[in-house]
Every structure is written in structure tokens, then in C-alpha cells.
Amino acid sequence: MKAIFATLLLLACAQQTVRKTAEAADAGVPETPPALRDEAAPRPAEGAEQTQKPSTQVSPAGVGLLRLPLDDKSIVSVQLRFRSGAADDPPGKAGLTYLTARVMAEGGTKALDAKALLNALFPMAAELNSRVDKEETTFSALVHKDHLSKLLPILTDVLLHPRWDPAEFKRLREVAINDIEKRLRQGDDENLGKESLLELLYRDHPYGRLTLGHASNLKTLSLGDLQAQAARIFTADRLTVGVAGGYPQRLGEQLSSTLAALPAKSEKPAAIPTARPHGPRFLLVEKLADSTAISMGFPWTLSRKDPDWPAMSVARSALGEHRQSSGRLFQRLREMRGLNYGDYAYLEHFQQEGYAEATAQLGRPRLQQYFSIWLRPVRNDNRLFALRAALHELTRSLTTEPFSEDEVERTKSFLDGYILLFDQTDERKLGYALDDAFYGMSGFLGAWRASLRNVNAAQVNAAWRKWIDPARLEIVLAGTGMAEVKKTLLSNEATPIHYADPAKKLPDDDEIAKFPFGANGDKDVEVVPVEKMFE
């Protein structure tokens, strides 16, 4: 959405300057070496790219290269993926990697200041972005192949010759601080709940600090801190160059050679210990709001490589697939009771790719994953009933109402088609291939889809019972009146549902209203003012 809004703004405000901008870009951008220009590269026969696998190699300088099979498409995708992320932030400097990458990608290069960088990208309709997660950082570019020769020097300069403009550093640091203090704490309750859950699950762990940063830490960062961090973690030995689309035949090799000029070696990436539930059971974030955001989960060792992944993915989808209406949680909390907009479950970290898409962002692979349930904000008078309803449904899936043969077959049929939507572009295919490389696997989506065909209900329920333990859940509620919520959690008093129609009542409402919260004493319920979150 940011890219769309930025483009609309430029269209509205800068139509009269496009020609001058293009001329300035032609004059200010270094010429691409001949080896990087489009050449008469052989293309695969029709359909061949569907059977070819990504090719990988490592240059003598230690730079990795991952190429998807060449195709005849007009768009070229380049992703420069570093095995570096927020887990590399030193103590007291949460947000350092995020801010470093953003200043590099948006703050200009030695040849182009920040405004000139935007002006150079605009006539090419090119995208240049950074994405920082816990263990990986990606600098990505998307451009029509006719403009590739102009974009590539800009992209490599972002890494090799960032401008480190003090004014841009201060501006982007202030943007990051405002993002925490204004958006996350005050205007984005859904993500407030999700991010608060992660800081709860991963306390005293390298993942336990908001990737965006902590406000007080960001305020102390200097431009020198960013320069030192870039030299420390954006190094040749941590880099993999990924290329896809209708690229010149030797694009990957030339990029790898150019970027070998990065600092050659770094210290080892941060160790990622096994995270385990530690309590408290409840974190209550006090903030003024008309509704309450609810997130719950626990860390685990399940990963895409685990033999139980296919069976667990069926169970998860049957319980609640993201932005789909067929799951039990959605049907029984939203459709039957009208409690909120949606209710979903996840096997691993999930961030949605764009406002209008339901697919996951790529470039966020992690060695430590977690199970979670997300209840979109609930009206305050029904929040504790909604929480109990989710706990009730999860427990029932393990006991009195396991997933049926029919439910499993319907879910398998849905996933068989749905998975095909996950990598519809070369950009996403490349993202999955780079994520696969992180996990030490290949062809994850195809293998996952194929493996579903052999899964039966007995296997689904056995895997679900093996991995899911409601007693391990740690739970976040973000909303107002948390002192009273704490009293109710500790007393376990009934919390009946409030329907718009007082005459309405479903058979198991009374049972849900009394379902145990699972809080074991005062130490199991912590109340925190929102101003202290991510501080």
C-alpha cells in the first residue's frame, strides 16, 4: 500500500517534472557494465521452467547465488538476502538493523540523494524496498527488463555506497519512533496484540524485541551506530543474490561479483536458542479502546521440514485458515455468534502480504516458530466470552470433537487448490526459493501440496494431539479496563455472551461462559500500560 500511495502522490504532484526527472536520472546514474545489459540469452522451451529447479552456487568471495530458471516475462526480480536481522541488534539497541536497512534503501546513495533516488525510480516504474525480520534482511528490486540497466547501479550502490545522510537518518528514525508511539500503541490494536504476544513468548530471547525497535532505544541511536551495524552484518559471507524473471543470462554472476566488494567476513549470526513457554499466562495491555484485541500462542519446534507438517496444516486450516471462512473458529465465533470480524490459527509466524491479499509475506523464515490463534478485536462486553470460546474450540478439537474424515477431506481439497495461489509471480517464487535455502530444503510448496494427498483423519488428529497443548498458551488482551479483566480471570466467574437479540441463545453458550481461563494465581496475570510496551 505504501508503494501505491507514493505512486499516486507522485502522479498528482510531479507530472510536469517527469521529463526533467528522467533526464536527471540518465545523467546521474552510473552506466551499467556491458556484461549486465540484456543479451540474447537462451530461453527455456515452453513449460520447461515448471520442471527446472533453482540453481545455486557460491562465489569465491563467499556470495551465494540463487537463480530461478529464465523465462520470457518482462519483469525482473532481484532479491539480495542477508542472513542478518533483528536478532543481531545489540542489547539496548532494538531496531538498529531495521533502521540501518531503511536508511540504506530510502536515504539515498553517494550519487543520488533521497529525492533524486525517488526521481530516478519513478520513470522506470521500479520498486526498491527493504524488509527486516528476526534472522534475515532482504533488499529487493522489481523492474521492467528495459530499465534494468539503469536500476542495477542504483541497487548495488544502496549496499556499497549508501549516502548516510544525517538529515535522512533523523527523519527515518523519527518515522520509526512515531510508528511505535502513534500507530502501534494507539491506532493499530490488531498488531499491538500480535507484537505484544511475541514479546511475551520470547522474553529474554533474541526474538524478544520488536523488529521495528523500542522507542527509547531508537532515540539513542546515532548515524555511526548504523554505519557500524551495516559493516558488521551486511557482509559478503552472509549474502545470497536471488534473480528471477526475464533477466540477462549472467545477471546473477555479475551482481555477485559486484557485491563481493562488501566487507568480506562477519562474526557468526546470533545463536537462536530453543524458546519455551515461561509465563505469565496472561499479559493485559491497558489502553483506551472500544474493543479488545486478543492473541494467544506458544513457541514450539515444529517446522516445515517436520514429517507432521502436512497433517498439522490440515488441522490448522480446519480450525481457522487466515482470511478464510470455513474454519471452526470463524464459523462458531463470527458466523454463529457475530462476535467479531474473523478468527484464525497459524503454525508459524505470519504477516499478510498487502492489504488486499491473504498470502503470507516472504523473507521472514525463522529457526524458532510458534503456534498462535488470533481473534480480531471483540466488543469489550463480549471479549472474555470470545476468549473462552476460542479456548473451548481448541480443547474440543483435542477431545470430544476431533477432526472428522469429511472435514479432513474437504480441507485437503481446499488446500490442494489454495497452495497454488501462493507463488503466482516470479517475485514470490524467488522469495519461496530463498526461504527454502534458509531451511535447507527445496520445493517446499510442491512437496507440501503433494504430501497432503496421503494424509488421513487419524494422522491429522494424532499430530494435533502430539503438538497442541492449551495449557501452554500465553495470552494477550489489549484494551481498556484491564484491572477488572484480571479479577475475572483469577476468579473464573462466568462471562455470558451479550447478543443484539436478547432472546437468542445457542446450546453451548452456558458451557463456554464458564470454561476455565487457566490462570494460576496473581503471578499468572500481568497488567502493563500501553505506554510501556516497546519502550
- pLDDT tens-digit profile of 173-186? 999 999 999 999 99
pLDDT digits (tens, 9 = 90+) for 32-83: 333 333 343 444 443 433 446 888 888 777 899 999 999 999 999 999 999 9
CB 141 within 8 A of CB 251: no
Answer whether residue 470 shows pLDDT above 80: yes
Among 119-123, 351-355, 376-380, where is mean pLDDT lowest? 351-355
- pLDDT band with cut points at 50, 70 and 90 for residue 2: very low
C-alpha cell at 490: 483469577
Higher pLDDT, residue 405 or 279: 405
Does pLDDT of 15 surpass 60?
A: no
Average pLDDT over residues 314-340: 98
- Please spell the DSSP secondary structure of 232-269, one letter per residue: HHS-GGGEEEEEEES--TTHHHHHHHHHTTS-S--PPP
Buried b / exposed e along 429-445 (16+ C-beta atoms within 10 A): bbbbbbbbbbeeeeebb
As a whole number, the mean pLDDT across the chain is 91
347: confidence class by pLDDT, cuts 50, 70, 90: very high
Q: By three-state DSSP, how is residue 323 classified?
A: coil
pLDDT score, position 121: 97
Cβ within 8 Å of residue 163, ≥6 positions away: 107, 108, 109, 110, 112, 113, 114
Phi-psi region of 125 (alpha: psi -120 to 50; beta: other; left: phi over 0): left
Per-residue pLDDT tens digits for 125-178: 999 999 999 999 999 999 999 999 999 999 999 999 999 999 999 999 999 999
Is 54-259's fold the same as 282-532's? Answer: yes
Partnered with residue 244 across adjacent β-strands are 77
Beta pairing, strands 291-300 & 474-479:
antiparallel
- Which position has the grid cell 548504523? 226
pLDDT for 4 beyond 50: no
**In the predicted structure, residue 19 carries a pLDDT above the cut 60:** no
pLDDT at residue number 419: 97
For 102-112, what is each residue's pLDDT tens digit? 999 999 999 99
pTM passes above 0.85: yes
CATH 3.30.70.560 fits 282-532, yes or no: no
Fold of the domain spanning 54-259: Cytochrome Bc1 Complex; Chain A, domain 1 (3.30.830)
Average pLDDT over residues 366-388: 98
The whole-angstrom separation of Cα 395 and Cα 271 is 34
Q: What residue segments make up the domains of the chain, in order of their start? A: 54-259, 282-532
Average pLDDT on 410-431 reads 97
* Cβ atoms 365, 435 nearer than 8 A: yes
Spatial CA neighbour of 132 closest among 424, 356, 346, 361? 361
